[in-house]
Structure 1
Amino acid sequence: MIADGNEEGRRRLASAVGTMRGVSLGICASDLSETYHAAESRPPQAVLVAENLARLPEFEVMQTLFRALNIRCILVADTPVSAERLAARAGTSGLRMTHQGASQDELRQCLFEVLLDRPAVAPREPVAERMAFQSGRLILIGASTGGVDALIRVLSGFPADCPPTLVVQHTSGTFSAGLARLLDRASPARVLEAEDRQPLVPGTVLLAPGKDHHLEIARGNGSHCRLREGPPVSGHRPSVDALFHSAVPVAARVSAAILTGMGRDGAEGMLALRRAGAHTIGQDQASALVYGMPRAAHELGAVCEQLPIGRIGQALLKSCARRSAA
């Protein structure tokens, strides 16, 4: 598959790939949404992604889908210099790099190296110990940059009868449905895009949809969610702060976590939750891709405990577990 927002770039890559023996070219996509849905419905072995799409924030969701489906990815930078910069940003994510000025032989060599590569399978999260959960408990999670991988780490340990969970992850509206399906693959719990007035039931994780509404706990006894129209809160819609503040009336039954992300969305809402009796957890600096949101919450005094991402899922579940008579 080829993904390039520039028509001339797509034609150039398609022409180069089309002449390679042993390679079959599938879809040429013009944006990340088209790329995501095509890769999800019919996974290719490899995708060539142009720099103009790789620089978009939503590419993080795309990378996670590629890893989940074992799709190899090559970033095609505009120049050798920008290829080095993209490589530095990618870090250890396993992406391969080439650039628009590369010869057809160089592109072919890069593509075949990727196709023949067999990346190691990522270790699975440990199976959660069996727990019985207190009736009425709720889990709230907020995340932004780096949050897709972090959410997979957390939710992969959630059992099929986990407490009702609501999640705000900053992403564009065209990706929230695909993100819900991606998280659903990773978790024994059921992960869905939230709908207005949807009941909060055990075993279900509701993800804030799109960019048009805030996901909140409906007023009352905390048995339903609501999708509320309104301006951005803390610079975002959906907003982690909006979700956290909406849960203050039922805070005694809430466990909340704030994960990796840029900015401070969620910090004020988490402080309000903690003051009202909620158990609050922040991701630690060592395991956060971007320590902005967890740092802001920690510095406000909103966090009961800081934990590495590998321990947050279990900590949330244990805080909701039914206490034995002993």
Structure 2
Amino acid sequence: MTRKARVLIVDDSPTMRRLLRASLLTDPRIEVVGEAEDAAQARDAVNKYSPDVMTLDVEMPNMSGLEFLRRLMAHRPMPVVMVSTLTSQGSAAAVEALALGAIECVEKPRFGNARDTMARLAEIVHMAASARVREPVPRRVIEAQNNVTPFAGSEKIVMIGGSTGAVEALEVLLRSFPANCPPTLITQHMPAAFLSSFAARLDPLVAPNVRLASEGEEIRPGNVYIAPGGDYHLNLDTKGPLRTRLVAGPAQSGHRPSVDSMFLSAVPVANRVVSAILTGMGRDGAAGMLALKDGGARTIGQSEDSCVVFGMPRVAGEMGGVETWADLQDIGKTILTQCTRRKKVRTK
């Protein structure tokens, strides 16, 4: 944005509102235009100030942040950044909020990490101001995805990377996977506590088995393995039977778990890989996708029109790593089609 991002802060705690305001105002690209302590005040403030971005507490009195978000997205879609506690209940609610269309979720500051959390919030809020926000995909459309594409099986492995906006995208995508889908590894940028809730939420909604990856699992059809995050990247061990490998180490391409780390680990078996890169901020996954494509993998990028943030797919495309572009609702079908299609071998 060329002008300042106009932000509305919604939180029932006056102390938290002051902390959020003080932190956001340290960023010269941000202007706080109003505050609200509950859903009713937030509704009125949206109408009065027309903010570019809202920060929203997950747990509020009278009407929960989730219910307010659901109504807001149905009637006046706008960028929303959720602010949540990292309890198991709060994490599950935060993941639900992301599925409802929130741009991102940031943990509430705790003793010892307030400075890092607030610095991250300002950057996310500024990014959110230019995000594409539309009405969420209707539940009937998402649910109609289930098992719509027959799959005869293959020797392929699927790898998917995503970030901002990809919680909803992954649900839509995995709804189209049948129970015997190719073994699928996913790296999604989220805090570890949120990733655990994300896997638990997805598993009963889709036909394949979904869980957090653990060390040394032999990957099998019908299973989706999500990077657990925290101290680890999710990689593929290509020595012998293909297995998951959790690699402790520093952030790669600015993230842990990193999409690049996962993609690059599969280069030795690239001709067996179908990879997809979904909506997200930054460039994580772009270098890895190019290396996979050069090694013979099929590569798919989420189309700009269907992305919340056309960052990761854009960079991957600019680097030459994207072979096929697809809209969100077609990506699952495209992946399965590519899993059964042989790539032509170039001849001199």
Partner of 2:277: 258
Structure 1 residues without counterparts, runs of 5 or longer: 17-30, 36-43, 70-84, 95-118
CA contact under 8 A between 2:149 and 2:177: conserved in structure 1?
no
Q: Secondary structure at the match of 1:206?
A: strand
Partner of 1:132: 152
Partner of 2:174: 155
Q: Does 1:123 align with 2:107?
A: no
CA contact under 8 A between 2:300 and 2:324: conserved in structure 1?
yes
CA contact under 8 A between 1:60 and 1:148: conserved in structure 2?
no
Q: 1:221 to 1:278 in 2, by over 3 A?
A: farther
Q: Does 1:276 align with 2:295?
A: yes
CA contact under 8 A between 1:161 and 1:202: conserved in structure 2?
yes
What whole-Å deviation, never above 9, does each CA across 1:259-282 have from its counterpart, x for those lacking one?
000000000000000000000000
Partner of 1:98: none
Residue identity opposite 2:248 in structure 1: E
Greater radius of gyration (CA) = 1
Q: 1:293 to 1:47 in 2, by over 3 A?
A: same
1-structure distance, mates of 2:64, 2:181: 36
The structural deviation recorded for 1:223 is 1.6
Partner of 1:65: 96
Aligned length: 257
Q: Normalised by the size of structure 1, how large is the TM-score?
A: 0.68
Residue identity opposite 2:337 in structure 1: K
Within a 5 Å distance, the mapping from 1:108-119 to structure 2 comes to none
Residue identity opposite 1:47 in structure 2: S
Q: Does 1:320 align with 2:348?
A: no
Residue identity opposite 1:54 in structure 2: M
Residue identity opposite 1:230 in structure 2: G
What whole-Å deviation, never above 9, does each CA across 1:67-105 have from its counterpart, x for those lacking one?
879xxxxxxxxxxxxxxx9999795458xxxxxxxxxxx
Partner of 1:194: 213
1-structure distance, mates of 2:219, 2:300: 21
Q: 1:221 to 1:319 in 2, by over 3 A?
A: farther
Q: 1:91 to 1:260 in 2, by over 3 A?
A: closer
Partner of 2:82: 54
The structural deviation recorded for 1:5 is 8.2
What whole-Å deviation, never above 9, does each CA across 1:217-243 have from its counterpart, x for those lacking one?
013145201000111100000000000
CA contact under 8 A between 2:84 and 2:94: conserved in structure 1?
no
% same residue: 40
The structural deviation recorded for 1:128 is 2.2
Residue identity opposite 2:148 in structure 1: A
Partner of 1:306: 325
Partner of 2:76: none
Q: Does 1:244 align with 2:263?
A: yes
Q: Secondary structure at the match of 2:192?
A: coil
Q: 1:315 to 1:171 in 2, by over 3 A?
A: same
2-structure distance, mates of 1:193, 1:93: 29
Q: Normalised by the size of structure 2, how large is the TM-score?
A: 0.64
2-structure distance, mates of 1:141, 1:273: 12
- Of 170, 179, 201, the residue aligned with 2:198 is 179
Q: 1:302 to 1:9 in 2, by over 3 A?
A: closer
2-structure distance, mates of 1:269, 1:61: 30
What whole-Å deviation, never above 9, does each CA across 1:130-170 have from its counterpart, x for those lacking one?
22111x31000000000101101110111111010000000
